[in-house]
Amino acid sequence: MCHHPDCGCGQHFYQPPPYGWHHRGCCCGAGYVPRRFPTREEVIEYLEEYLKQLRAEASRVEGELAELKKED
């Protein structure tokens, strides 16, 4: 898989955070330096997804607490 969308190979894969935005298996060869930091839009997208997951987890925890309190 390639991490350079402008290389033309059509095999693009981005490993999302928290893994540090590293890219694997580039087919572009030497001399092409990938960017080292995510764009603002990528950070926003990642944080929105992370927040959605946190809210879902908090909802599950609240449900478990409510069930445990009913049993008392």
Tell me, letter by letter, the H, E, C secondary structure of 14-51: CCCCCCCCCCCCCCCCCCCCCCCCCCHHHHHHHHHHHH
Residue type at 3 in one-letter notation = H
Tokens for 8? Answer: 């033309």
Q: What is the number of residues in the chain?
A: 72
Q: Is the pLDDT of residue 48 over 70?
A: yes
Least-confidence region, from 7-16, 38-47, 51-60: 7-16
Residue 59 binned pLDDT confidence (cut-offs 50, 70, 90): very high
Q: pTM value?
A: 0.49
Residue 1 binned pLDDT confidence (cut-offs 50, 70, 90): very low
Count of Cβ atoms closer than 10 Å to residue 2 Cβ: 19
- HSE toward the beta carbon, residue 33, CA cutoff 13 A: 3
